[in-house]
Structure 1
Amino acid sequence: MDMLKHPVVLLWLTITVYWAANLLRVRTGSVLFNPVVVSTIAVISYLKACGIDYPVYHETAELIDFWLKPAVVGLAVPLYLNWEKIRKQWLPIVLSQGAGSITGIVTAVWIAKLMGAEREVVLSLAAKSVTNPIAIEITKSIGGIPAITAATVIAAGMVGQMVGYRMMTMSTVRKPMSQGMSMGSASHAMGIAASLEKSKKFAAYASLGLIFNGVLTAMLVPVLLPLMGI
């Protein structure tokens, strides 16, 4: 049993399960086989079957979590590669990203508040549309609960990855820049993954959406929460 909870085994399991889940998603083409959902269920089932406590697994997961922050910094590459397009359209980009960031913050906070959630929970939802490394740091700075933030970020990403592009095809939103940046803003890294299935062009714009939304949300959350009486 000790071998089953060895860090190398758990690390290999995590990577392999996600790879297999992603392959299943590509082969079936079904939104129901979301790689994050499938791999999460598989890993939880393994931990339960082997009697492995979460803190033991978490120590291994930190080896992967360590690379999340450098990965976010690496997203500056598509920002640089598309700088000319961004510079020419800076006003609509900034305005749309500002509107998306404010909408993401305000709707999550107000709905939670109206439903009677405790203040710490409300604070934890403010950054739910931002990629996890940034969202967790925002939550820590305002006194929220990082675990709740992480869960809601994943939930927002999964919903966007599964239905984002389908919803936009039923609307008047057609341009790759508009669709890609919308996915990156609302569903962060999972939005980028969904965009990659369409093309690298969509993924580049989704990366821009993720970056802009992360920066703007970090700036706007401390300003908006007091104005909303939180």
Structure 2
Amino acid sequence: MIYSYLLATVIVFLGCKWLLASFNHPLANPLLWSIVTFITLFSVTPLDYQDYAQANTLFIALLEPAVVALAIPLFLQLQQIKAQKFAIFLSCSVGVFMALISGTATAWLMTNDLQLLLSLLPKSVTSPIAMAIANQVGGIASLSAAVVIFVGLVGAVFGFQILKLFNITNKQAQGVAMGCSAHAIGTAKAIEAGQTQGAFSSLALVICGVMTAILAPLFAWFIAFL
């Protein structure tokens, strides 16, 4: 059964990628439709999600070397990164503040539940960091992870379309924007777009993760104080 789940994961993802390859549309995202496919399967069949998740621990383990591999495009673009280090830092700083403020404001419009507000604070960093921050500030880690995945998918699907709409054609700026706003899922999309976008997105992902881990508890204290 374990191997069946592993095989099903690979088949669904590759199948979605193959089926959507001919569609030149932002919504033709294999990750998005793989998630939709599995949600449907778990809803209409007796398949158990816990068994599926346990069977796919191999893929979870492979995430660690995959993250380390992000250093390769960074190394290849090192000179460009050094030349733009101040612009990158400033952009990431603004991105983190806007993410924290927009997350808090959005939650405030929907609810006055403090725990829910705190859960939405780390919405623009990658899931492991978001869950750790949520636990630290008193939020709900699982809710934070779900919101992070949703934000990442929205960024991966519409990110480059929005950049195109605002005529942002600089590859370095595109990469930083994707890494700041759509974390790891957006970075995967940036890598598909090109080596430069992938490198700058990877760096922005790391910088924003560190900044958010430092600033989120301060925002949480401010929210609780209000």
TM normalised by structure 1 equals 0.87
Q: 1:191 to 1:125 in 2, by over 3 A?
A: same
Summarize deviations over 1:74-125 as a string: whole Å, max 9, x none: 3233333333322222211111101101111121122202321422222211
- Correspondent of 2:179 among 170, 184, 188: 184
> Is 2:6 aligned against 1:11?
yes
Q: 1:28 to 1:172 in 2, by over 3 A?
A: closer
Contact 1:123 1:142 in 2 (8 A): yes
Q: Structure 1 residue 174: deviation in Å?
A: 2.4
Task: Report the aligned-residue RMSD.
Answer: 2.0
Q: 1:212 to 1:190 in 2, by over 3 A?
A: same
Contact 1:127 1:138 in 2 (8 A): yes
Matches within 5 A, 1:65-214: 65-214=60-209
- Correspondent of 1:37 among 32, 35, 57: 32
- Correspondent of 1:21 among 10, 16, 39: 16
Task: Give the whole-Å Cα distance in 2 for the aligned partners of 1:78 and 1:227.
Answer: 38
Which amino acid in 1 is paired with 2:81? I
Task: Give the whole-Å Cα distance in 1 for the aligned partners of 2:44 and 2:213.
Answer: 40
Contact 2:91 2:176 in 1 (8 A): no
Task: Give the whole-Å Cα distance in 1 for the aligned partners of 2:127 and 2:189.
Answer: 17
Task: Give the whole-Å Cα distance in 2 for the aligned partners of 1:218 and 1:73.
Answer: 20
Task: Give the whole-Å Cα distance in 2 for the aligned partners of 1:63 and 1:142.
Answer: 30
> Is 2:217 aligned against 1:216?
no
Q: Structure 1 residue 131: deviation in Å?
A: 1.5
Q: Structure 1 residue 70: deviation in Å?
A: 4.0
Unaligned runs of 5+ in 1: 1-5
Contact 2:122 2:144 in 1 (8 A): yes
Q: How many pairs were matched up?
A: 225
Contact 1:25 1:31 in 2 (8 A): no
Task: Give the whole-Å Cα distance in 2 for the aligned partners of 1:139 and 1:68.
Answer: 21
Which amino acid in 1 is paired with 2:19? L
Q: 1:117 to 1:76 in 2, by over 3 A?
A: farther
Task: Give the whole-Å Cα distance in 2 for the aligned partners of 1:218 and 1:25.
Answer: 36
Contact 1:109 1:126 in 2 (8 A): yes
User: Any idea what SS the aligned residue of 2:119 has?
Assistant: helix
Identical-pair percentage: 32
Q: Tell me which residue corresponds to 1:3.
A: none
Q: 1:34 to 1:108 in 2, by over 3 A?
A: same
Summarize deviations over 1:159-179 as a string: whole Å, max 9, x none: 111211111112142211111
Q: Structure 1 residue 180: deviation in Å?
A: 1.2
Q: Structure 1 residue 13: deviation in Å?
A: 0.8
Summarize deviations over 1:105-158 as a string: whole Å, max 9, x none: 121122202321422222211111112222222222222222211211111111
Task: Give the whole-Å Cα distance in 2 for the aligned partners of 1:146 and 1:59.
Answer: 19
Task: Give the whole-Å Cα distance in 1 for the aligned partners of 2:206 and 2:18.
Answer: 27
